[in-house]
Amino acid sequence: MPNNRNGLVATISMTMLALALPAAADPDPSDWPAVLDEAEGQTVYWNAWGGDTRTNRYIDWVAEQMQAQHDVDVEHVKLDDTGSAVARVLAEKQAGNHDDGSIDLIWINGENFAAMRENDLLFGPFASALPNFALTNADENPEVVTDFTLPTDGYESPWGKAQITFYYDSAQTETPPQDMQALLEWAKNNPGQFSYPRIPDFTGSTFLKQALIELTDQDEALYQPVKDTDFEAVTEPLWAYLDALHTHLWRSGRAFPDSGPHLRALMSDGELSLAFSFYPTDAAVAVREYELPASVRSYVLEGGTLGNVHFVAIPYNSPHKAGAMVLANFLLSPQAQAEKQSLAMWGDRSVLDIEQLDADAQALFEQGERHPSELPADALSNTLPEPHPSWMTALQDAWLERYGVN
């Protein structure tokens, strides 16, 4: 039998040396040439909601561009619930995995961002060091550095805007409801023709917040932590409203659609004649792709609708932080933002200050004549700010306790 003692000793010595060495230093966001060099050849595992084909095709396009332009592979890890990714990073931290996490980038905002900041689960600050971040003109557009009332402090990079937009079949409805009370009356007169996604789906949860903002007379309470308020008193009008609304919904409120795309599918099948989305161009894209009839039109409520910015963030234990930063920067490029906003791709609104771009970059956003199912250009001027992130969780828990269905 050959003597492997020397090889064994060498292996043990190398292992002990490796254990004694400090973990590789995180890349310095301010040294962008070094970030680009380090990113080459990396694979970035991007955890992002995968529940819509349009979102998925855009991320596929991004992956192609990242490989071609930066030699960075992007793997889309499709999520049903962003909270599961947050829980995974927290579990890795509790297990002592501080350097080799399974997630490099997360599509995130709201209560999930708040939870990650509270538990020190994010790398940063990095966002303001991204070369393309300046194109957002953050000083004039504070929404790109504020997440559900919380300052992002450079721990998130913006990449898109959302705002509740209603859409209806004008062949069936001549005058759609313009506020929550009118919506209740419309539902009574058109039983089964409206619904909202089952909680805790984020589109359904946003509907609850939209209704609460309009119905409560204690708006100021929504912009502070829920623990500092009288939750029952603030939300009482919401539950009374939903009690009255539910019996007139699709399936008499005994079941709810799974998501915003499911809501759109029910419109396509003719089961609903009024719906809503968190993406203002959702209906126009669906009409363009023959998923909805050409008679569908979009609108926002007279008092404004809830809107927010969505972001990407890097977990503190990502092993590919350089690649993640290069990806976040690419998502802010005029090329990527214009492609995302295109009705042929996704239709998600840009976070860039387009008027401040040079002429060539502005030209990328020109899409020709407005689609008949799109909102007018100035329709989104009245955007209602998101409540404090703690309200999302509290409303979801209360809804599930009252109305939870299988």
- Nearest in space to 122 (alpha carbons), one of 109, 134, 135, 133: 109
Asked if 275 and 348 sit in the same domain, the reply is no
Q: Do 260 and 391 fall within a single domain?
A: yes
290, 323: one domain: no
Using alpha carbons, list the distances in angstroms from residue 172 to 12, 68, 167, 271, 282. 76, 48, 12, 12, 19
User: Residue 238: phi, psi to the nearest 5?
Assistant: -65, -45
The pLDDT of residue 25: 87
The domain that holds 93 is classified in CATH as 3.40.190.10
The first and second tokens of residue 194, run together, are 């409206």
Same domain, yes or no: 287 and 333: no
Q: Are 216 and 387 in contact (CB under 8 A)?
A: no
Quote the number of domains for the chain. Answer: 2
In order along its 406 residues, the chain shows pLDDT tens digits of 344 444 444 444 444 444 444 456 899 999 999 999 999 999 999 999 998 899 999 999 999 999 999 999 999 999 999 999 999 999 999 999 999 999 999 999 999 999 999 999 999 999 999 999 999 999 999 999 999 999 999 999 999 999 999 999 999 898 999 999 999 999 999 999 999 999 999 999 999 999 999 999 999 999 999 999 999 999 999 999 999 999 999 999 999 999 999 999 999 999 999 999 999 999 999 999 999 999 999 999 999 999 999 999 999 999 999 999 999 999 999 999 999 999 999 999 999 999 999 999 999 999 778 899 999 878 888 899 999 999 999 999 999 999 986 4
In this structure, the answer to whether residues 143 and 187 fall within a common structural domain is: no
Q: In this structure, is residue 20 part of a structural domain?
A: no
Residues 285, 169 share a domain: yes
Regarding whether 252 and 388 lie in a shared domain, the answer is: yes
- Domain of residue 250, residue span: 165-299+381-403
Asked if the structure places residue 369 within a domain, the reply is no
- Is 6 domain-assigned? no
Task: Note whether residue 391 is domain-resident.
Answer: yes
Is 286 inside a domain boundary? yes
Domain co-membership, 35 together with 99: yes
* pLDDT value, residue 378: 81
Tokens 């957002």 belong to residue: 136
Q: Are residues 174 and 321 in the same domain?
A: no
Question: 357-394, pLDDT tens digit by residue?
Answer: 999 999 999 977 889 999 987 888 889 999 999 999 99
Residues 116 and 134 in one domain: yes
- 40 with 70: CB under 8 angstroms? yes
Residue among 296, 298, 295, 266 at smallest CA distance from 280: 298
User: Dihedral through CA 113, CA 300, CA 242, CA 218, nearest 10?
Assistant: 70
Q: How far apart, in Å, are the Cα atoms of 307 and each of 133, 198, 210, 304, 400?
A: 21, 19, 9, 9, 24
State the pLDDT at residue 16: 45
The CA-atom distances, in angstroms, between 217 and each of 9, 70, 228, 233, 390 are: 74, 52, 17, 10, 19
Whether residue 287 is contained in a domain is answered as yes
Are residues 255 and 386 both part of a single domain? yes
Same domain flag for 330 and 218 = no
CA 75 to chain CA mean position, Å: 18
